[in-house]
């Protein structure tokens, strides 16, 4: 027999298809949603639909935003000759949180991954190259320190270097506050290779 | 500055208010939802609204269901003189999954918790007492083995015993497959108290 009735099962299925939500959490969430006051349920459903309907790519940097041009690109006090390339909007937000980066961004929306069949044409690389026709001094590659992120970084550097623009990669090493004992060997070797004189 | 634009922030806030979803997961989910195809987004939003709109209490046992009377209560092959009291619909589903319980249920939708200010009047207890006016042989209390669950079990047994109906409590002890070494002392003592002759 079915444990729950139709509408409950359907909701559980939809929720379980979201990332990071397993079967048990989906059940818990479903009953929480059903027991929520009607106005809160409406608000959640409309937030989902409105975000989907109104959020688009920034015309400049391709981050997800409500506006034609995102607040970072629209800010004339930032250095538009310095472009940091990130994999997604959340990574951009992570750097924005530091409050110290003065340049602008370019959001790829992914990384090259032969394993997942994601090639250079599937991420916003052509758009990056187009931006380089303007007045750009340096491109900082801040893709993740994963296999995909490194592959993408290599690809971009090979693509841009011939144009004559400076290309840099954010440092890889021991995280601040990190205990050497718990850090993997690859990171330890990276930290050694990237050592700087004091 | 705000890290994300309005609609994205609103969605993240709504998601982070759900149980078991922290700030980081809410961000991840929000971007996942925004990147999902439009038809899937619509389906998710309508599943939420439809579940909320169509799911109600079973007239008999107060479980959450699409129908006036849930499939368990509607099934005449089940023993309607045997009522298992559970805290919520998920607990009922857990017993249904065993496939061995022949009786019906009564769903309290909570447990007595002086800490959270939930009294006997806040859960479906009056409704349970009303059911006892019919032909009932035994009430099995299957509330959780937590402080709240035990308090509720005690309260119900004091309420029902004077009526002359048999009241039982599901056994508390070492879970099947459980390793004694990792089980808390209270459970170990319960298992000892509740030992049965072989």
Same structural domain for residues A112 and A149? yes
Residue A75 to residues A93, B129, B198, Cα–Cα distance (Å): 16, 67, 79
* Cα distance between residue B164 and residue B139, in whole Å: 11
> Which of A1, A2, A8 is the best mutation test for B, with the most CBs of B within 10 A?
A8
Same structural domain for residues B82 and B146? yes
* CA neighbor of B65 nearest in space, from B100, B105, B98, B103: B105
Query: What is the DSSP code (8-state) at residue B105?
Result: E
Sign of CA dihedral B36, A123, B25, B34: negative
ipTM, two decimals: 0.75
Same structural domain for residues A92 and A142? yes
pLDDT band at B89 (very low <50, low <70, confident <90, very high): very high
Give the minimum alpha-carbon distance from B180 to chain A in angstroms, rounded to a whole number.
26
Q: What are phi and psi of A10, to 5 degrees?
A: -65, -45
| pLDDT tens track for A135-166 | 999 999 999 888 899 899 999 999 998 888 99
pLDDT band at B162 (very low <50, low <70, confident <90, very high): confident
* A128: Cβ contacts below 8 Å, ≥ 6 apart: A83, A85, A106, A108, A139, A156
Give the minimum alpha-carbon distance from B33 to chain A in angstroms, rounded to a whole number.
7
Q: Tell me the CA end-to-end span of chain A in Å, nearest whole number.
A: 70
| pLDDT tens track for A48-101 | 999 999 999 999 999 999 889 999 999 999 999 999 999 999 889 888 888 888
pTM here is 0.74
| B79-86 sheet: strands from edge to edge | B103-107, B79-86, B138-141, B166-169
Choose the closest CB to A28 out of B3, B5, B20.
B20
Q: Are A18 and B43 in contact (CB under 8 A)?
A: no
Q: Using CA coordinates, name the residue in chain B closest to A45.
A: B45
User: For residue A90, is it within any domain?
Assistant: yes
Same structural domain for residues A168 and A127? yes
Buried b (16+ CB within 10 A) or exposed e, A158-175: ebbeeeeeebebeeebee
Provide the residue range defining the domain that includes B79: 75-172
Same structural domain for residues A106 and A30? no
Residue for token pair 């980066």? A101
Predicted pLDDT at B1:
43
Q: Are A34 and B52 in contact (CB under 8 A)?
A: yes
User: What mean pLDDT is reported for chain B?
Assistant: 89
Could you give the number of structural domains in chain B?
A: 2
SS3 A8: helix
Same structural domain for residues B80 and B139? yes
Predicted pLDDT at B186:
80
Residue B63 to residues A5, B55, B73, B90, B93, Cα–Cα distance (Å): 10, 10, 10, 9, 10
Cβ of residue A151 closer than 8 Å to a chain B Cβ: no
CATH of the domain at A102: 3.40.1360.10
User: For residue B180, is it within any domain?
Assistant: no
Predicted pLDDT at A71:
92
CATH of the domain at A43: 1.10.8.420
Which residues 80-109 of A have a C-beta within 8 angstroms of B? 88-90, 93, 96-97
Same structural domain for residues B98 and B40? no
Predicted pLDDT at A2:
64
pLDDT band at B2 (very low <50, low <70, confident <90, very high): low
Same structural domain for residues B94 and B36? no
* Cα distance between residue B15 and residue B23, in whole Å: 9
User: Do the chains contact at A64 and B31, CB–CB below 8 Å?
Assistant: yes
């Amino acid at each position: 027999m079915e444990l729950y009735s139709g509408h409950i099962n359907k909701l559980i299925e939809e929720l379980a298809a979201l990332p990071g939500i397993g079967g048990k959490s989906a059940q818990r969430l479903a009953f929480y949603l059903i027991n929520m006051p009607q106005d809160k349920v409406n608000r959640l459903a409309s937030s989902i639909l409105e975000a989907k309907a109104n959020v688009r790519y920034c015309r400049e940097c391709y981050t997800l935003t409500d506006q034609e041009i995102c607040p970072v690109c629209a800010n004339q006090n930032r250095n538009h000759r310095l472009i940091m390339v990130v994999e997604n909007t959340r990574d951009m937000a992570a750097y924005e949180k530091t409050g110290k980066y003065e340049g602008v961004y370019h959001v790829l929306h992914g990384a090259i991954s032969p394993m997942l069949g994601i090639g250079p044409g599937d991420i916003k690389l052509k758009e990056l190259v187009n931006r380089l026709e303007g007045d750009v001094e340096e491109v900082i590659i801040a893709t993740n320190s994963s296999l995909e992120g490194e592959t993408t970084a290599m690809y971009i550097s090979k693509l841009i270097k011939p144009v004559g623009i400076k290309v840099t990669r954010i440092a890889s090493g021991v995280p601040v506050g990190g205990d050497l004992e718990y850090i993997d060997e690859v990171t330890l070797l990276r930290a050694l290779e990237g050592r700087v004189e004091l």
